[in-house]
Structure 1
Amino acid sequence: MTTVQTASPHLRVSAAKSASSESKESPSTRISPPETSAVDDHFFWTYTEEPHRSRRQAIIKAHPEVTKLCGPEPLTKYVVFGVVATQITCAYLLRNTSILDWRFLATAYFIGATANQNLFLAIHEISHNLAFRSPLANRLLAIFANLPIGLPYSAAFRPYHLTHHKSLGVTGLDTDLPTAVEAFFLDSLLGKTFFCTFQILFYAVRPMFIYSPPFTSIHLLNLAVQLSFDYFLTQFTGSLQPFYYFIASSFLAGSLHPCAGHFIAEHYFFSNVKTGGTESLLELKFKPAAKTEGPSVLDGLAPPETYSYYGPLNFFTYNVGLHNEHHDFPAIPWTRLHKLHDIAKEFYEPLPCHRSWVWVIWTFILDSDVGPWCRVKRAQGGRVVGGGGGNSGKNAPTGRGGEGISAASAGPGGEEGDGWKESEIQC
């Protein structure tokens, strides 16, 4: 068997760290939180750069043909139209059904939640300009995909999500990260159960306590279209039940639903779980019966920041389970992520991955070795996408809720306040 050698993404140290510090500390060394917190901080703080940029460069060097996979996927718009039509049909058929009726609840959980999770991830896909080449056409399709979600969401999601890509793990910029206060109060069986049940609310409310991108005409259009649609739907059916169906579907899509497991599976590290469960594809291929016992050669490295999932639920979720692949190449659409994996399998097969999103939720709640503290954080680096966080010095913006935005977070000189350009989002 040939041993695959891949460069560790944790060996590339952020330029923000001084050269003298680089020579004295191992790149995987855990550092103290950069600022005092209202509670005892147990996140994994590091100076190292997020791993995806380094791996992307290595993959392009080894397989330059992967760049040909970038670009819009025409199939996306048809899937969006089909799912939106399905949800509107279900809402209409339930117009005279009580929200407490088992038929309403069963439809909302099995069909509605799955469909709205699909639409959440359609908006995620569209936010990367992967449905059309025209940025405006992508924005309009996202607003259309938003309709069965019930509340305006697509315009606000885009700048936060693209900042998550450009600033993975950067405190005060990456709104996917729980704050120390959240982690402190949720670090228990009941707390984690509450979090998993109401995940969708955390992702909706948390950004407002971190930072606020500018309100644009697209935000206004998203708001106007969504409220108009909700009004005309309830007027046409003569009932509020269709609107309640949309809200119930959205809530359940981000609650204790199998597809909701991706929220936790993507970036919470499970390397402390003693029973295993996140072995790499390479380990499973050559040692299918092996058990994770004793020390691992990975124990001295920083925990993984991103996990992929290659199971059947990707069918309903735009292959979002291939999350390492997506973060490495955000400009490759969902239909070509498996091709990327096949081309660069020597980079992806050694990485730990999840085999069940249901297992992820179950383990997150019940296992004391994984929880809200299991995130990698960094205080430096990253950029705001869409502006709103780019001044330096004493006037630098500060995040709310105890999460500060560092002066370096806006990006290199001359880019302050600009964020990513449209041209940077594609290959």
Structure 2
Amino acid sequence: MAGMDTVPRELLQAAYRRNPIHLLKIPLHFGIWAAVTWVLYATQHHPLAIPIGVACSWLIANLVRGLGAVAHDAVHGSCSRSKLTSYVIALLCWAPTGMSVTLYTNYHLHHHKIANTYPDVDNFVVTDYTRNPVLARLLLLAVYTFAYPLYFLGCMARYVKRLSPLQRVRMNLELLGFWGLMAFFYWVMPFQVFFFFYLLPFVFGAILASVTSMIEHYEMLPGEDAYSSRTYGTSARVTNFLWNNVTYHNEHHKFPGIPFYNLRSFHEAAYPYYDERVKSACHPSIVGVALSLYGRILKLDIAKLDERYRGLNKDDERRKMMALNGIQPGATA
């Protein structure tokens, strides 16, 4: 047995146990966002309005990432046994990202089924875009520094095709509702307040999504879920509080039914039972592992990447994988 297979059953049973009290993080995050917005109004004419606004925007971006983590759990069925309640939680918490929760659900549960294979959106294959080593490195740096959401949106067309007609209607209603709300805020708020309330946080959020996507899956291989991603930032307690433990990504891929609020305690209890390969993919910091991966990007070997996909019919592989259903919400492994 290898990977995480020797983790005692009692630790897993405790980790899967739901405790709805932790869902109070939802009103807490939205409440902090509202308080920060009040600060933006109160300081809009202050001499330090710009640095205050930037600091507020950075906090908002981290709050939105944390709300997204709760929505992500709702998609997995980890917040509630009720499908309706799970959808409402996911809709409320995922909306600030600006993307449809219906579309995200289809993509993300499928990602778990095909993680790190050629067609997986989270596996950015740079040689599909350029074979020039310099351009390939620059493109990778761009995608994994700030442009991942643009690449991600470009890939979502394949998931729109997987939606039923009714799901497509719901997707468009979700988008219309949220962006209509943002248009209302833009209309009633002074532009300076709106800029720091949503526009700059959206930019910061794109950077966070790009960097963490690299950390979670760059150069990871398909196969056993225990080796499919990295856990990072285990010593970053403030960040994990704001992000609702999304950094415990390896544990999530192996055991996607564990609620966000149990991931850190499970990691700490289960870590002694991990094999060395799993332990090597667990990192105490976020910045350290990110800089290490940027270094690997700068040393990109096109020939080595070609070897990974040698003999693979990429079109056939994409058709085969896109025909698969995603994992079921509530999956335990």
Q: What TM-score comes out, normalization by structure 1 length?
A: 0.60
Tell me if 1:124 matches 2:53. Answer: no
Q: CA deviation at 1:315?
A: 2.6
Structure 1 residues 113 and 227, CA, compared in 2 at 3 Å: closer, same or farther?
A: closer
**Which residue does 1:394 correspond to in 2?**
none
Q: Give 1:139's match in structure 2, choosing from 87, 97, 101.
A: 87
The code of the aligned residue for 1:311 comes to S
**Which residue does 2:206 correspond to in 1?**
254
Whole-Å separation in 1 of the counterparts to 2:29 and 2:270: 32
Please give the secondary structure, in 2, of the residue aligned with 1:170. Answer: coil
* CA radius of gyration, larger in: 1
1:85-234 aligned within 5 A: 85-91=31-37, 93-94=39-40, 97=44, 101-109=50-58, 111-149=59-97, 151-172=98-119, 174-179=120-125, 180-182=127-129, 184=131, 187-188=136-137, 190-202=138-150, 204-208=152-156, 210-212=158-160, 213-214=162-163, 216=167, 217-234=169-186
Alignment deviations for residues 253-298 of structure 1 (CA, whole Å, 9 cap, x no partner) = 231x5x8643222122489xxxxxxxxxxxxxxxxxxxxxxxxxxx
Q: CA deviation at 1:194?
A: 2.0
Whole-Å separation in 1 of the counterparts to 2:290 and 2:235: 15
Determine if contact 2:103/2:159 at 8 Å carries over to the other structure: no
Q: CA deviation at 1:330?
A: 0.5
Name the structure with the higher helix share: 2
Whole-Å separation in 2 of the counterparts to 1:319 and 1:371: 33
**Which residue does 1:358 correspond to in 2?**
287
**Aligned length in residues:** 308
The code of the aligned residue for 1:77 comes to L
Alignment deviations for residues 384-407 of structure 1 (CA, whole Å, 9 cap, x no partner) = xxxxxxxxxxxxxx99xx684243
Determine if contact 1:264/1:360 at 8 Å carries over to the other structure: no
Whole-Å separation in 2 of the counterparts to 1:182 and 1:316: 35
Q: CA deviation at 1:73?
A: 4.0
Q: CA deviation at 1:203?
A: 5.2
Tell me if 1:335 matches 2:248. Answer: no
Higher alpha-carbon deviation: 314-323 or 155-164:
314-323
Determine if contact 2:228/2:250 at 8 Å carries over to the other structure: no
Q: What TM-score comes out, normalization by structure 2 length?
A: 0.75
Please give the secondary structure, in 2, of the residue aligned with 1:198. Answer: helix
Determine if contact 1:76/1:122 at 8 Å carries over to the other structure: no
Structure 1 residues 421 and 333, CA, compared in 2 at 3 Å: closer, same or farther?
A: closer
1:227-376 aligned within 5 A: 227-237=179-189, 239=191, 241-242=193-194, 245-255=197-207, 261-269=211-219, 304-309=227-232, 310-312=234-236, 313-348=239-274, 350=276, 351=278, 352=280, 353-367=282-296, 368-369=298-299
The code of the aligned residue for 2:214 comes to I
The percentage of counterpart residues that share the same residue type is 19
Please give the secondary structure, in 2, of the residue aligned with 1:187. Answer: helix
Whole-Å separation in 2 of the counterparts to 1:200 and 1:219: 21
Determine if contact 1:269/1:306 at 8 Å carries over to the other structure: no
Runs of 4+ in 1 over 6 A off after TM superposition: 371-379
Alignment deviations for residues 128-173 of structure 1 (CA, whole Å, 9 cap, x no partner) = 1222221221211222223444x2343322221111112212332x
Please give the secondary structure, in 2, of the residue aligned with 1:133. Answer: coil
Structure 1 residues 69 and 348, CA, compared in 2 at 3 Å: closer, same or farther?
A: same
Measured on the aligned residues, the alpha-carbon RMSD in Å equals 3.8
The code of the aligned residue for 1:130 comes to S
Whole-Å separation in 2 of the counterparts to 1:183 and 1:209: 21
